[in-house]
Amino acid sequence: MDEDEAVPVPIEDVIDLHAFHPRDIPDLLEHWIAECARRGFSSVRVIHGKGTGHQKLRVQKILSRHPRVRSFRDAPAEAGGWGATLVELDPGDGPRA
C-alpha cells in the first residue's frame, strides 16, 4: 500500500489516535468530528494517550475551535482518564460553514 493512500476509518463514537501518524491527526480529527456530528452522535471519545501531554494539547486545540464541539473534558478513569477526552457534539446535517 502506498504511504499516501487513503485508509477508510470506521465512524464510531470512539477514535484511538495511536494508530495514526501525528501529521495526519489534525485533518483526521476535523473530519471525524464533523462526520460524527452529521450522523447524530451527541458524545464521542478521543483516545490520545497519556505520554507527555503534547498530543492531548494538540487534540484539545483542535476541539476548542471546531464548530460542532459544544464542550470537552478528561474522560473518567474507567474510560481512559487523562489519556482520553470526552467530547459533547452539536449534531446536525453536515459541517457548519
Considering only CA atoms, which of 71, 65, 77, 74 is closest in space to residue 29? 65
- pLDDT tens string for the chain (97 positions)? 455 666 676 789 999 999 899 999 999 999 999 999 999 999 999 999 998 889 999 999 999 999 999 999 999 999 999 999 999 999 765 444 3
- pLDDT given at position 1: 46
Extents of the domains making up the chain: 24-42+55-75
Cα–Cα distance measured from residue 73 to residue 94, given in angstroms and rounded to the nearest whole number: 24
Per-residue pLDDT at 94: 47
**Rounded CA separation 42/20 (Å):** 24
Task: Kindly state the DSSP code that residue 94 receives in the 8-state scheme.
Answer: S
pTM: 0.83
**Alpha helices (H) in 1-97, listed in sequence order:** 25-38, 54-65
Question: Of the candidates 25, 30, 32, 26, which has an alpha carbon nearest to the alpha carbon of residue 9?
Answer: 32
Give the pLDDT score at 11: 87
Contact 11, 32 (CB under 8 A): yes
- Alpha carbon distance 94, 31 (integer Å): 11
